[in-house]
Structure 1
Amino acid sequence: MGYYPTHLTHLHGLPVHVFPVVEEEGHTPLPAPESVAWKLTTEGEFPFESLWRRFLDQVPTDQVTALVLGAWWDEWDEHGIDPVLELLTAEAPRFPRLRSVFLGDVVSEESEISWIKQGEVSRVLRAWPGLRELGVRGADGLVIEPLRHEGLHTLRIESGGLPPDPVRALAACEFKALRHLDLWLGTAWYGGDCTPEDIAPLLTTPAGCPELRHLGLCNSDIQDDIAAALAGAPVVAGLESLDLSMGALSDDGGAALLAGRPLTHLRSLDLRHHFMGDELVERFRETLEPHGVSLALTPARRRSHLRDRPEARYVAVGE
């Protein structure tokens, strides 16, 4: 089973449509602006600003509800996404119906996830108070400032290594409508050097996120510590789904999770890509399935030459 990100096919319930990189004679007419999630990508070959200006000229942006940003560089990404975010947010009044944004719809053939240079993505939230969904792929240079946002329902950050500062900033934000939070924490090899202490503020009763119903803390090489912290975390009681997949979860973390606060109220628990033994996996089934909890328990591929040593465990997505 593969976990590495692929190009988005849908966003905000709409099919992704790539705006033509270059204008062609006799091209197919553009779809209705509200019918698709518009993707802008330079394919690593053209200046983003010219693509952006042509998009503004040709698409009635007052009807656009979803925007996907792919590769924004023309030869190499020297400055990160900040210059592009300046262009986007400067035109925010032209996008009054924008509800969903995804930054960095890039696959490994374009750039490895750990090489994607993000920036101050919180400026997107400030520019669009009505935004409902924000997705980010990559965490190199990622900056999030503590802020209050009344409309955001879904926040997703995919990374091979999420640094501590953005995680701490998220815990200081007030997202009154947030229901779905997914963080790929990654590995210290690629900048994901969060500690349990950095993550702990996200696990308290979320005064800043009172509507939170899904929490994903995924793809982490400290997955055992996260599971142990969640075992006693107040946030669990309000969740409908919990995702601890893609990380280095072993019997230690799994046993701590089962011994903690009851999980029988959950609709789903995702532990795919785990390193637990068969006996503990069966305990999860016996404990939770009778209560109707949907379990995802596909194990990770074992590195047989290392057997059961700790270094045999690895995250699903790193570089």
Structure 2
Amino acid sequence: MTDITHHDSFHGLPVHTLQPPSPTDPTAPPAAGSVAWRLDCYPYELPFEDVWGRFLDEVDTTGVRALLIGPWWDGDYTSLSPVVDAIVADAHRFPALRALFLGDVESEECELSWLQLCDITPVLEALPLLEEFGVRGCGDGAPGEGSLQLRPVRHQALRTLRFESGGLPGHVVRAVGASGLPALEHLELWFGSEWYGGDTTVADLAPVLSGAALPRLRHLGLQNSEIQDEIAAAVASAPVVARLESLSLSMGTLGDSGAQALLDGQPLTHLSVLDLHHHFLSDPFVARIEELGARSGVQVRLDQGDRWDDEDDKARYVAVSE
């Protein structure tokens, strides 16, 4: 399993969690634009609305450049909807905001599959200057209350889009492919397990793999998948690969058949990084991939390999599921 932890830095800034008021600590808060602000209901034991209100009152939000939302509940797990509603309602108060991450939550606080998400499209619509957007959490496989949802959206400024999920619904992936994101340079999708709603198919990825709607894409991460071999086979002939600088097929169930497809497919020697960590490759295929890297100068990542049972695909597992 890959550890899911809080961000130490975000959008090139150190993360600073808004602290509860303390009469014994006179330390002044950092300048609004010098840190990535993180909101967390745990230290307060207050509803998110109250924490959000204090943030607006005490921080010069016109200077905030990056924002992370940690645990947004103060008791039972609740929907992300009030968070989205607050951000949308107060978007005009954040003219400098360029990066937003929803769900900066560790497993000890809440498992990914327990996070109650919602439609996050309104955030992108309300923040047209946003350059980096990330979401952590699973879906339940069908649109509805508590499930991660995304509608096709056109966004001119977004450069980085990241979904960290143990079960990314196929309808979210299809929405990404149908969106207009002409500035996007970095796309990272963690597909997860079908058990937790990760029902994405290779067909769902066709618009992304064609690259037609993503003219500036330079990094593609198709990760944490139970069908990693099928994805690798599709990537082997995907037009988008020719313009990439880095490619990640990590964290999933990649085996020898997927590696063979990559080796037989289009050249990968133009890449600076090929990340295949957490794989199920046999030693001969590890050696062949390493030789490719050594010969071409591609930085290859092959750590966290496992070979539970060469003949049993069911013994393979993704790095992040629950």
TM range (shorter): over 0.9
Counterpart-to-counterpart distance in 1, 2:175 and 2:138? 14
Shift of 1:288: 3.3
2:105 corresponds to 1:106: yes
| TM-score, length of structure 1 as denominator length | 0.95
Could you say which residue in structure 1 is the equivalent of 2:241? 236
Is the contact made by 2:224 and 2:252 (CA closer than 8 Å) also made in structure 1?
A: yes
1:265-276 counterparts in 2 under 5 A? Answer: 265-276=270-281
Counterpart-to-counterpart distance in 1, 2:213 and 2:60? 36
Shift of 1:12: 0.9
1:119-198 counterparts in 2 under 5 A? Answer: 119-140=118-139, 141-198=147-204
Percent identical pairs in the alignment equals 52
| TM-score, length of structure 2 as denominator length | 0.94
SS in 2 for 1:68: strand
Q: Which of 270, 275, 281 is matched with 2:286 structurally?
A: 281
Is the contact made by 1:216 and 1:242 (CA closer than 8 Å) also made in structure 2?
A: yes
SS in 1 for 2:252: coil
Query: What do the CA deviations read for 1:82-111 (whole angstroms, capped 9, x no partner)?
Result: 111101110111100000000000001111
Counterpart-to-counterpart distance in 2, 1:261 and 1:29? 55
Is the contact made by 2:245 and 2:272 (CA closer than 8 Å) also made in structure 1?
A: yes
2:56 corresponds to 1:56: yes
2:222 corresponds to 1:224: no
Is the contact made by 2:224 and 2:318 (CA closer than 8 Å) also made in structure 1?
A: yes
Is the contact made by 1:273 and 1:299 (CA closer than 8 Å) also made in structure 2?
A: yes
Query: RMSD over aligned Cα, in angstroms?
Result: 1.3
Shift of 1:41: 0.7
Counterpart-to-counterpart distance in 2, 1:177 and 1:227? 25
Counterpart-to-counterpart distance in 2, 1:299 and 1:92? 42
Shift of 1:129: 0.7
Gaps of 5+ in 1: none
Q: Which of 245, 251, 267 is matched with 1:246 structurally?
A: 251
Counterpart-to-counterpart distance in 2, 1:51 and 1:112? 22
Is the contact made by 1:67 and 1:102 (CA closer than 8 Å) also made in structure 2?
A: yes
Q: Which amino acid aligns with 2:149?
A: V
Is the contact made by 1:276 and 1:299 (CA closer than 8 Å) also made in structure 2?
A: no
Shift of 1:307: 5.7
Shift of 1:196: 1.4
Counterpart-to-counterpart distance in 1, 2:231 and 2:306? 21
Is the contact made by 2:35 and 2:66 (CA closer than 8 Å) also made in structure 1?
A: yes
Counterpart-to-counterpart distance in 2, 1:4 and 1:182? 17
Could you say which residue in structure 2 is the equivalent of 1:32? 31
Counterpart-to-counterpart distance in 1, 2:273 and 2:136? 24
Counterpart-to-counterpart distance in 1, 2:241 and 2:46? 46
Shift of 1:287: 2.5
Is the contact made by 1:182 and 1:217 (CA closer than 8 Å) also made in structure 2?
A: yes
> Which moved further from structure 2: 81-90 or 236-245?
81-90
SS in 2 for 1:148: coil
Could you say which residue in structure 2 is the equivalent of 1:9? 8
